[in-house]
Amino acid sequence: MTAAGTEGPEVIRMGPPRLTAGLDQYIRMGYEAHLAVHGPLPRYGAPELAELARRIALTGKGGAAFPFARKLQAVIDSARRRRLPPAVVVNATEGEPGSAKDRMLLARAPHLVLDGALLVGEALRAESVAVGVDEGSPGVTSMPSAVAERRSRLPIRVVQQPARFVSGESGALIRGINGLVALPPSRKVRSSDGGPGGVDGLPTLLSNAETYAQLAVAARLGAEAYCAVGPADEPGTVLLTVNRPGARRPVVVEAPAGTPLLAVLDACGTGPGQGVLVGGYHGMFLDAASAASAPCSRAGMRRSGGTFGAGIVIPLPEDTCPLGEAHRIVQWLAAESAGQCGPCRRGLPELARAFGAVVTGGGSGAVEEVRRLAVAVVGQGACSHPDGSAGFVRSALSVFAEDVRAHTERAGCGRRVRAVLPTAPWAPDRDAARDGRVNLKVDWALCDGHGLCADVAPELITLDRYGFPVVGEGPVPVWSTLSAKRAVNRCPALALRLSAPGP
């Protein structure tokens, strides 16, 4: 096991290095160093590449885990049927604050990602390759440099996306590449079909940055050697982002699929605490006992009651309130939504407020209201954001049932909220003022309970049984900023204030 320190996440390798090969020697691998470590990239035809992806059981590494071979074949068939050249898209956005694996690849091994994308692009005889990166991420500088360092027969462009949770959704990314607002489309469309769902209307193959890097490794090793590590149904290695309590930066771990989660936590100098969040903010919590026996694979996590997602691992230490931690994230998820449909505009803010009532001792009625709202938003949104957020809430209520009882029966568990679950990526931290985020506050010395604010901004403000406003504690969603300002301007008592969020 070796480690490499960088300005980004620390990198730890458990077992044979593949995606992290050479990172113990280089801070960032330029093209010459990349070739020295990995060797030349072989060329594949489209059928051979699809067969390779099938034999290594390659799935998307962004969280959905869709089989790559099926996705590739769908684009091949669509391009042939429509007689159009396809496009290739690398989703290197990482709006999930707990994840750093793609940022690590962009910053330190960008040519491995480009190898996989160009391997696909040349096999498909694609029109172009686009790499979507978050504004302010290492990819903004590292990826254009990597493109300039090599001569490609295919045009490659690097497109910046807003650093928001929903901007990495596949439809939002393609809309951003097409010059539109980077929000999920109002109806689900498949990128492989082209048309409104594709880049420039072309059949489009879109997958995660790690997926392309894994394909580049497999192309060099061959299917048999690639499958020499990991379980038969999920061979190869996985990249995990472990967020350690109190640490300034996360750790990215490359380990054989199926490695025990407890061993990964131990290698990072931490343990399961009172529970571990796996899969990110659309993921699930595991209690300490389940985490101790869970393997780091998709099937293994499912058997343990969790979800692998994008490989995010966040243990909760014993001295923080788990429900308070979850409440912070539910508020953040409500603010990060696209705000295009009812479940996001009304449902998630209501869910956050109801969850807050549980944390502050609202009794069993508050718990039932959370459960009701968590069911009501599922399957109703234009994208999967409401469903994933509801799953996160249900998982917190289930795994921390004892804490739920403590908060509903005794008005609290006695622990403070340490803000262990991050709401901004490791580099750079998002500036709330620059991001346009504000908090909406009530000056109770002035408020007379007119109730006008709830009529002007119903998605932000409700009224209690006495007619006084109830305002959520989290930042105002970007799409509700105008409503918040209108409520402030319309308040006859001048009791509403907008302020930048605190640290």
The total of structural domains in the chain comes to 4
pLDDT tens digits for 123-148? 999 999 999 999 888 899 999 999 99
Distance (Å, whole) CA 390 – CA 210:
27
Q: Which residues contact 149 (CB under 8 A, 6 or more apart)?
A: 30, 31, 111
Return the higher-pLDDT residue of 115 and 1.
115
Residue 178 lies in a domain: yes
Q: What is the pLDDT of residue 492?
A: 83
Q: What is the pLDDT of residue 19?
A: 97
Distance (Å, whole) CA 69 – CA 123:
13
Q: Residue 2: is its pLDDT beyond 60?
A: no
Query: The domain spanning residue 305 has which CATH number?
Result: 3.10.20.600
pLDDT range class, residue 489, cuts 50, 70, 90: confident
Q: Do residue 59 and residue 31 come from a single domain?
A: yes
Residue 426 lies in a domain: no
SS (HEC) of 194-261: CHHHCHHHCCEEEEEHHHHHHHHHHHHHCHHHHCCCCCCCCCCEEEEEECCCCCCCCEEEEEECCCEH
- Report which of 336, 309, 478, 468 is spatially closest to residue 391, judged by C-alpha positions: 309
Q: Do residue 208 and residue 75 come from a single domain?
A: yes
Residue 30 lies in a domain: yes
Q: Residue 1: is its pLDDT beyond 50?
A: no
Distance (Å, whole) CA 73 – CA 50:
7
Name the residue range of residue 134's domain. Answer: 2-225
| Lookup: tokens for 220 | 């060099």
pLDDT range class, residue 427, cuts 50, 70, 90: low
Distance (Å, whole) CA 113 – CA 373:
40
Q: Residue 54: is its pLDDT beyond 90?
A: yes
Q: Do residue 151 and residue 15 come from a single domain?
A: yes
Residue 306 lies in a domain: yes
Q: What is the pLDDT of residue 284?
A: 96
Highest mean pLDDT among 311-320, 427-436, 439-448: 311-320
Q: Do residue 356 and residue 218 come from a single domain?
A: no
Please tell me the chain's helix, strand, coil percentages from 3-state DSSP, rounded to the nearest 5: 45, 15, 40
Mean pLDDT of 234-238: 96
Query: The domain spanning residue 379 has which CATH number?
Result: 1.20.1440.230
The mean of the pLDDT values for the chain is 89
Residue 432 lies in a domain: no
Q: Residue 30: is its pLDDT beyond 60?
A: yes
Q: Which of 288, 316, 344 is the last residue of a domain?
A: 316
- Report which of 328, 443, 455, 342 is spatially closest to residue 393, judged by C-alpha positions: 328
Q: Do residue 114 and residue 208 come from a single domain?
A: yes
pLDDT range class, residue 478, cuts 50, 70, 90: low
Mean pLDDT of 463-485: 77
Return the higher-pLDDT residue of 386 and 503.
386
Q: Which of 316, 339, 361 is the last residue of a domain?
A: 316
pLDDT range class, residue 36, cuts 50, 70, 90: very high
pLDDT tens digits for 145-185? 999 999 888 999 999 988 888 888 899 999 999 999 888 88
Q: What is the pLDDT of residue 432?
A: 37
Q: Residue 438: is its pLDDT beyond 50?
A: yes
The H or E element spanning position 373 is helix 364-376
Total number of residues shown for the chain: 503
Distance (Å, whole) CA 299 – CA 374:
25
Q: Do residue 62 and residue 210 come from a single domain?
A: yes
Q: Residue 3: is its pLDDT beyond 50?
A: no
Distance (Å, whole) CA 66 – CA 480:
34
Mean pLDDT of 321-350: 88
Q: Do residue 297 and residue 327 come from a single domain?
A: no
pLDDT range class, residue 479, cuts 50, 70, 90: low
Q: Do residue 71 and residue 139 come from a single domain?
A: yes
Residue 425 lies in a domain: no
pLDDT range class, residue 18, cuts 50, 70, 90: very high
Q: What is the largest CA-CA distance in the chain?
A: 73
Q: Do residue 23 and residue 155 come from a single domain?
A: yes
Q: What is the pLDDT of residue 425?
A: 72
pLDDT range class, residue 77, cuts 50, 70, 90: very high
- Tokens 């997602």 appear where? 309
- Tokens 């696209």 appear where? 338
Q: Do residue 467 and residue 443 come from a single domain?
A: yes
Q: Which of 198, 225, 252 is the last residue of a domain?
A: 225
| Lookup: tokens for 208 | 């995660």
Query: The domain spanning residue 467 has which CATH number?
Result: 3.30.70.20
Q: Do residue 63 and residue 88 come from a single domain?
A: yes
Mean pLDDT of 244-263: 94
Instruction: Compute how many other C-beta atoms are within 10 angstroms of the C-beta atom of residue 133.
Output: 27
Residue 153 lies in a domain: yes
SS (HEC) of 424-466: CCCCCCCCCCCCCCCEEEECCCCCCCCCHHHHHCCCCEEECCC
Q: Do residue 342 and residue 380 come from a single domain?
A: yes
Q: pTM, whole model, 2 decimals?
A: 0.86
* Residue 206 near residue 89, CB atoms below 8 Å: yes
Residue 230 lies in a domain: no
